[in-house]
């Protein structure tokens, strides 16, 4: 089986213990994947073929968690980092899906109890293997975070009656309560309600071009709500989501409440071919591929602006309804 090329991901591991096992885990993770870089962060003097060793001070669990969350991004030159440990690493590389990169964080479940550093900052983020975007890692430590109420929807097996339970209530449920829930109800869906918007990373070197002019000033000076459709590489755009996106855009255009700005980093010829092949109801402006990736990772992805502030974004795997878009337009 040929190896998978993932040049936009750095494989990393941070450890002061179980060094031989960690190096073995790194090598096993690389058996089926060509990563953009492979880095081992440790206080131990060691050499390993194909692995860049970065010397760091010896860390306890608190210092380790703080380093991973607040310092690791400084050493990452790719869009994403896949972090592994000696007991959590890549076993089945053939299970890789490009859709994973639609998300800023995928990893082990967040514990209900966190570690806190000497400054009172929460620093425990799951366990074992995880993948996270550099965009997420670059968020300032003291930046305000999204306030979200996570609600799970269950259906009673006997009656079909629906029941909602919050993450807070679920976390306080004892083992007997959880077993009753599992025996009598079927999980249906999860809903996240945004209570307060947190930090949004700034966008640098932003420029939009039409076929004959620079329209950046027009975009930046336009008031009100605008929905940017980002398809930074039209040849790699997840076309299976295009029919749903087409329908959403048609309904939004008909409603007239939000201006649509489709942007691509591909050539005019490729964009036009894609439009014809998939019945796309909009034309594309042009922008730099790298800049578009800093705006939203998903291809396609949606970003709702109000004036020049990002209000919300959606990956292709979770395209919103018209009403959902309107709910963010206060």
- Looking at residue 209, the DSSP 8-state letter turns out to be B
Pick the CATH number of 4-137 from 2.40.100.20, 3.90.550.10, 3.90.1150.10, 3.30.70.20: 3.90.550.10
Predicted pLDDT at 109: 56
Instruction: Please list the ranges in the chain whose pLDDT falls under 70.
Output: 1, 62, 108-128, 140-142, 145-146, 197, 199-205
User: Which element (helix H / strand E) includes 188?
Assistant: strand 185-196
pLDDT at 197: 67
In this structure, the number of other CB atoms found within 10 A of the CB of residue 181 comes to 17
Cα 324 to the center of its chain, rounded Å: 20
Which tens digits make up the pLDDT trace of 195-214?
776 766 555 557 898 888 88
Give the C-alpha separation, 79 to 173, whole Å.
Answer: 38
Residue with token string 């691509």: 264
Strand partners, 306: 225, 309
Q: Which residues pair with 119 in a beta bridge?
A: none
CB atoms within 10 A of CB 258: 20
Contact 216, 189 (CB under 8 A): no
Angle, helices 268-278 vs 242-255, to 10°: value is: 90
Q: Which CATH architecture has domain 216-327?
A: 3-Layer(aba) Sandwich (3.40)
Q: Per-residue pLDDT tens for 137-151? A: 877 666 776 677 778
Q: What is the pLDDT of residue 96?
A: 94
Whole-angstrom Cα distance, residue 292 to residue 294? 5
Q: Structure pTM?
A: 0.51
């Amino acid at each position: 089986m040929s190896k998978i090329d993932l040049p936009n991901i750095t494989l990393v591991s941070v450890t002061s213990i179980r060094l031989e096992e960690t190096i073995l885990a790194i090598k096993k993770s690389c058996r089926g994947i060509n990563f953009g870089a492979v880095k081992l962060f440790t206080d131990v003097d060691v050499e390993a073929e194909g692995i860049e060793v970065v010397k760091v001070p010896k860390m306890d669990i608190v210092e380790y968690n703080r380093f991973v969350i607040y310092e690791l991004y400084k050493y990452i030159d790719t869009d994403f980092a896949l972090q592994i440990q000696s007991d959590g690493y890549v076993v089945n590389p053939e299970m890789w899906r490009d859709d994973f990169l639609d998300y800023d964080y995928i990893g082990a479940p967040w514990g209900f109890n966190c570690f806190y550093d000497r400054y009172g900052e929460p620093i425990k983020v799951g366990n074992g293997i995880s993948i996270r975007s550099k965009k997420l890692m670059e968020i300032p430590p003291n930046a305000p975070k999204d306030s979200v109420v996570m609600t799970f929807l269950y259906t009673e097996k006997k009656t079909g009656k629906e029941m909602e339970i919050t993450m807070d209530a679920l976390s306080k449920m004892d083992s007997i309560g959880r077993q009753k829930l599992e025996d009598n109800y079927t999980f249906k869906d999860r809903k996240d309600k945004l209570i307060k918007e947190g930090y949004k990373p700034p966008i640098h070197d932003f420029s939009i071009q039409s076929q004959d002019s620079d329209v950046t000033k027009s975009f930046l000076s336009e008031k009100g709500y605008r929905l940017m459709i980002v398809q930074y590489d039209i040849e790699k755009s997840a076309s299976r989501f295009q029919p749903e996106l087409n329908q959403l855009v048609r309904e939004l255009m008909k409603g007239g409440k939000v201006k649509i700005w489709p942007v691509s980093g591909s050539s005019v010829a490729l964009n036009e071919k894609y439009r014809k092949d998939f019945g796309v109801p909009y034309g594309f402006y042009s922008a730099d591929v790298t800049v578009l990736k800093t705006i939203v990772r998903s291809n396609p992805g949606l970003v709702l602006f109000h004036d020049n502030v990002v209000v919300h974004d959606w990956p292709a795997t979770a395209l919103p309804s018209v009403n959902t878009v309107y709910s963010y337009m206060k």
